[in-house]
Amino acid sequence: MLQTLSIKQFAIIDELEVHFGEGLTVLSGETGAGKSIIIDAIGQLIGMRASSNYVRHGEKKSIIEGIFDIDESKEAISILRDLSIDIDEDFLLVKREIFSSGKSMCRVNNQIVTLQDLRKIMQELLDIHGQHETQSLLKQKYHLQLLDNYAEDTYKPLLDDYVSTFDQYRAKKKELEDLETADQALLQRLDLLKFQYEELQEAQLTDGEVSQLETDIKRIQNSENLSLALNNAHLTLTDEHAITDRLYELSNQLQSISDILPDKYDRLKEDVDQFYYTLDDAKHQLYDELTNTEFDEQYLNELEARMNVLNSLKRKYGKDISELIVYQDKLDDEINKIENYEESTSQLREEIESLYDKVFRLGKKLSQERRVVAQSLRDNIVDEIQNLQMKDANLEISFKPLDAPNREGIEFVEFLISPNKGEPLKSLNKIASGGELSRIMLALKTIFVKTRGQTAILFDEVDSGVSGQAAQKMAQKMKDLAQHIQVICISHLPQVATMSDQHLFISKTSKDDRTTTHVKELYGEERIDEVARMISGASVTELTRQNAKEMIEQNHLND
């Protein structure tokens, strides 16, 4: 759950710290006071897109920090460990800095993380649901995603196998289409491929040849200096003052010393002997090198000609020699494929047919699994929405065959609803009013929150369009939900406010042409006054205050 939220220089918020409790927290206040801005700030902590517009005018950056209790979130703790993020007791510090340039930086327990990793962690802790998400319920393309999310791991291996098979099928089908539509172009390309292959084959490329050529050319070009150096080095080891002769004499002298002083100089004699043998080997190597070093102009010309050929090929193809060798093999494969066009397409068709059969076989199994889960989901949704003052509502999850399989499956999945008895099932976007859609959304969230295992959920004015008994039912549903996880809600409904365990009032003030948002937790008479304002609007009477007081007391009788 979210325990503390700290906001600095964010939109119209100068500096603000909010402490959240367990259960249901309601944020209320006049329109434009900054309620949604607080939700936007929390959104930054879960990885929503940053914008320079969030930075308070005239400031360099915004800073949003949140302290989360992660004691009950095993999934989040597991992800933190996988990311090698230090875990300090059961609390998590999340920090997001947004700069006026539009860039942002994320930290978790003072360790910098990517936005992607931040989202991965926070999706296990907190969910924000706003009106824009409610509208997504109207779009059929999200319905299958909702079903699969509800299923969790029930048929995940089967779904993964289906997706993998479909991707293979689509790739093979694309390969065949490319071959069929480019028949004439392939023949023209074949001539180019053959020319390139023959050119590279004739060059007889060898990996590492360029490096060897450079060494050999340098050797011949510097043969005179090399011979002089070799000769001088050899003379040093062979003339009348040769080092090896002196070392030989030194070894004999050390042997004489060792005969008198046993053990003391044995190690030194061994080192001198080893050095002697090393230099003696060097003498022979230098001699062999010296006899093989001479200026060979013809051989130099051959080497330089070969180097020119290789450099020309490198420039022409824009690849180094090792890449050209790989490219030559690819040319050979492509030439064989084009020359065996009929055989290639026939084999591809067989592979496509086999994969298509497998796609349908897996797709049918997947549909069977989905239908079982869909029945459970449907029953849960109906129970929830009927408890939200839609007693005659019915909902079905429709499965219709697709004209062709896609990456999601072989059937079209859609939620259909009949909000009233006797009315036919229709698409959500054709039947649901704003209030009905809010209640359906809350029903879905109630179901999915229990399966997801998150520890907090934020509702941003999702109760719009609801009033009367339906509002009371929605308030009770949020209260029930808050028994399982922390619920934070921006609401205009007094029914929701009176159910809350914590009531925060959002207001704004203006000073020196600057607007600032404030948050105050309401208790006692202040809370009664705010609920009364929510009941009656701007004009608060003693009657509405009494009504507000009774609602608060009634809704907390069993607390």
Q: What is the pLDDT of residues 444-501, one digit of tens each?
A: 777 877 666 567 888 877 666 677 788 888 888 888 888 888 899 888 889 999 999 9
* Chain mean position to CA 204: 45
Q: In whole angstroms, what is the distance from residue 150 CA to residue 510 CA?
A: 47
Q: Has residue 313 got a pLDDT over 70? A: yes
Q: Has residue 35 got a pLDDT over 70? A: yes
Higher pLDDT, 231 or 416: 416
Q: What is the DSSP letter of 485?
A: S
Amino acid identity of 199? E
User: How far, in Å, are 44, 145, 458 from residue 117 at the CA level?
Assistant: 13, 22, 21
* pLDDT level of residue 182 (50, 70, 90 thresholds): low
Ordered DSSP codes for 68-134: EE-TT-HHHHHHHHHTT---BTTEEEEEEEEETTS-EEEEETTEEE-HHHHHHHHTTTEEEEEHHHH
Q: Report the candidate in 476, 472, 482 with the shortest Cα–Cα distance to residue 450.
A: 482
Higher pLDDT, 421 or 399: 399
* pLDDT level of residue 33 (50, 70, 90 thresholds): confident
* Chain mean position to CA 539: 51
Q: Report the candidate in 379, 442, 531, 400 with the shortest Cα–Cα distance to residue 134.
A: 442
Q: For 325-336, what is the mean pLDDT?
A: 89
Q: Has residue 10 got a pLDDT over 70? A: yes
The long-range contacts involving 548-554, CB below 8 angstroms and separated by at least 24 positions, are 548/494, 548/498, 551/494, 551/495, 551/498, 552/498, 552/527, 552/528, 554/498
Q: What is the DSSP letter of 424?
A: P
Per-residue pLDDT, 135: 58
* pLDDT level of residue 75 (50, 70, 90 thresholds): confident
Q: What is the DSSP letter of 55?
A: B
Per-residue pLDDT, 136: 60
Per-residue pLDDT, 17: 92
By DSSP bridging, strand 514-521 and strand 104-108 are unpaired
Per-residue pLDDT, 155: 94
Q: In whole angstroms, what is the distance from residue 479 CA to residue 488 CA?
A: 11
* Chain mean position to CA 230: 61
Q: In whole angstroms, what is the distance from residue 193 CA to residue 201 CA?
A: 12
Q: Has residue 34 got a pLDDT over 60? A: yes
User: How far, in Å, are 47, 370, 412, 463, 482 from residue 21 at the CA level?
Assistant: 23, 38, 43, 21, 11
**128 - beta bridge partners?**
458
Q: In whole angstroms, what is the distance from residue 482 CA to residue 22 CA?
A: 8
**Max mean pLDDT range (96-100, 186-190, 239-243):** 96-100
Weakest mean pLDDT among 209-213, 390-394, 435-439: 435-439
Side-chain half-sphere CA neighbours of 219 within 13 A = 15
